[in-house]
Amino acid sequence: MHTQQPSRPSDDSPRRPPADEPTRPPPVHGPDPAPIPEKLPGDLPGPGHAPTETPPPMHVQHAVTPVSRLEQEEGSPPVTDAQPLERRLIGNSEAMDAVRRMIVRVAPTDSAVLICGESGCGKELVAESLHAGSARADGPFVAINCGAIPPTLIEAELFGYEKGSFTGASRTHAGVFERANNGTLLLDEFTEMPLEMQARLLRVLETKRVRRVGAEVEIPVNVRVLAATNRCPVEAVEAGHLREDIYYRLAVVLIRLPPLRERGEDILALADYFLADLNRRHAQHPKRFSAAMRERLAQYDWPGNVRQLRNAVERAFVLCDEVLDVDHDFGAAPARTTTNGVGGPRHADPLSITLPIGSSLDDIERTFIVATLEHFGGDKRRAASALGCSVKTLYNKLHLYRRQLGHVAAAS
């Protein structure tokens, strides 16, 4: 009896793998991964040449430092644009609810926004949230601290420069306006910018064109500009530190970020958030606050705002075992009468100073500067704002005092 042999499949028919052979997924076809750029975003072709390729965008996690640096350390997820606003701006107080409502309303527009608030409140985080909620979210977010750049260099940092345009210009460099093209630019502490540079900035804001130092042609830019300051902008205008026309140009929408002492109900929520993050990344056995610590956290004034709170929680986490107990100073400047390294006294009462009759004007100025700096916990920007001078002027004064103190010590 003959049995019919099963027909063999043709070469064109798909082959079924045996039962014991693992099924392999089909190959994925697509573009090769992008190569690592050989040049930095600011490095461009030689003088007189526009860039042939758009520089790699400096996205938010690379260009700026979020308000919670704890989120940016190795091994922890970074703060990204995809996170909800509640995750980026922690707090259930009425003041923070108002800030979030303003961000939601303003973010989708292209209007300029001025963010006002004390140092350590999270102004840059508000700017990042505005960028994340806009149509430019896929573009770069670039932040520049105008108060930290010497006046002789700020023009080159803002607008870029051509190779050979000045001594040391060994390559063509794109300024922050070009690097933020099709994205968002944050001008942090813009009230510290020299007045003549404010005039140039106003023209760029109006024409949306920049000219690099040493160039003859202007480059069009498409940038949403946000600004931030720890000063009262109206007072800065009245004091002559800020041009009135650029204030009105940048303050299309004004967002005031409240200090931590004005939203006390958010203190424990922030502290719990920072502690939970530290536990997740570092602790084999989770640590917790003691009842006394929680009470002290809630009652403290926090002159350094959220930044000081975060540092206080991290310090207690490092120094304590399972229970984080009371740390009475929370990193505040000590209030005792000693020398401070710049030739001035410390005072027990931070709100008053005593000067002997017959003091020279230089001694009076030095005493006031040092006392103001100590009152703000060493924060030079807040001290300069209270004294009505620029941060650079304050640095120069402190450097002079230290030199004078060194000469006196050497003579003795």
Q: Could you read off the pLDDT of 131-173 as tens digits, one per residue?
A: 999 999 999 999 999 988 888 889 999 999 998 888 888 888 9
Assess whether pLDDT exceeds 70 at residue 17: no
For 122, the token pair is 């999270």
Q: Do 235 and 305 have their domain in common?
A: no
Q: Do 294 and 387 have their domain in common?
A: no
Stretch 353-364: mean pLDDT = 72
- For residue 32, the model assigns a pLDDT of 46
Q: Do 96 and 186 have their domain in common?
A: yes
Q: How many domains does the chain have?
A: 3
Last residue of a domain, which of 258, 277, 306?
Answer: 258
DSSP state of 145: E
More confident residue, 189 or 371: 189
Q: Could you read off the pLDDT of 70-92 as tens digits, one per residue?
A: 333 333 334 444 455 656 789 88
Q: Do 110 and 178 have their domain in common?
A: yes
Please report the beta strands in 257-395, taking only residues with DSSP state E, as ranges in sequence order.
288-289, 323-324
184 inside domain: yes
Stretch 357-382: mean pLDDT = 79
Q: Could you read off the pLDDT of 181-233 as tens digits, one per residue?
A: 999 999 999 999 999 999 999 999 999 999 999 988 999 999 999 999 999 99
CATH number at residue 99: 3.40.50.300
- For residue 311, the model assigns a pLDDT of 93
- For residue 351, the model assigns a pLDDT of 56
Q: Do 226 and 374 have their domain in common?
A: no
Mean pLDDT rounded to a whole number for the chain:
77
More confident residue, 44 or 214: 214
Domain around 279: 261-324
Q: Do 285 and 377 have their domain in common?
A: no
Pairing of strands 323-324, 160-161: unpaired
167 inside domain: yes
Q: Do 248 and 294 have their domain in common?
A: no
pTM for the full predicted model: 0.62
More confident residue, 146 or 62: 146
Q: Do 206 and 339 have their domain in common?
A: no
Stretch 45-71: mean pLDDT = 38
6 inside domain: no
Please report the beta strands in 146-183, taking only residues with DSSP state E, as ranges in sequence order.
160-161, 172-174
- For residues 104 and 50, what is the distance between their CA atoms, to the nearest angstrom? 37
CATH number at residue 269: 1.10.8.60
Stretch 346-351: mean pLDDT = 46
For 244, the token pair is 């009135």
Winning range, highest mean pLDDT, from 46-50, 73-77, 80-84, 351-355: 351-355
Q: Do 179 and 292 have their domain in common?
A: no
Enumerate residues 6+ apart whose C-beta is below 8 A from 210.
Answer: 158, 159, 160, 175, 177, 178, 204, 218, 219, 221
2 inside domain: no
DSSP state of 354: -
Stretch 114-137: mean pLDDT = 95
For 264, the token pair is 């006390």
CATH number at residue 364: 1.10.10.60
Assess whether pLDDT exceeds 50 at residue 48: no
- For residue 184, the model assigns a pLDDT of 97
28 inside domain: no
- For residues 266 and 397, what is the distance between their CA atoms, to the nearest angstrom? 37
Last residue of a domain, which of 258, 283, 312?
Answer: 258
| Residues in a beta bridge with 114 | 227, 254
Assign 43 to helix, strand or coil.
strand
- For residues 17 and 23, what is the distance between their CA atoms, to the nearest angstrom? 7
Q: Do 233 and 348 have their domain in common?
A: no
- For residue 332, the model assigns a pLDDT of 55
349 inside domain: yes
Under the banding of pLDDT at 50, 70 and 90, the label for residue 69 is: very low
21 inside domain: no
Residue 186 has φ and ψ, to the nearest 5°, of: -105, 120
Q: Could you read off the pLDDT of 254-297 as tens digits, one per residue?
A: 999 999 999 999 999 999 999 999 999 987 789 999 999 999 99
- What percentage of the chain carries pLDDT values higher than 90? 47
Q: Do 254 and 277 have their domain in common?
A: no
224 inside domain: yes
Last residue of a domain, which of 271, 305, 324?
Answer: 324
Winning range, highest mean pLDDT, from 85-99, 306-320, 360-374: 306-320
Pairing of strands 219-220, 209-210: antiparallel
Q: Do 99 and 203 have their domain in common?
A: yes
More confident residue, 332 or 322: 322
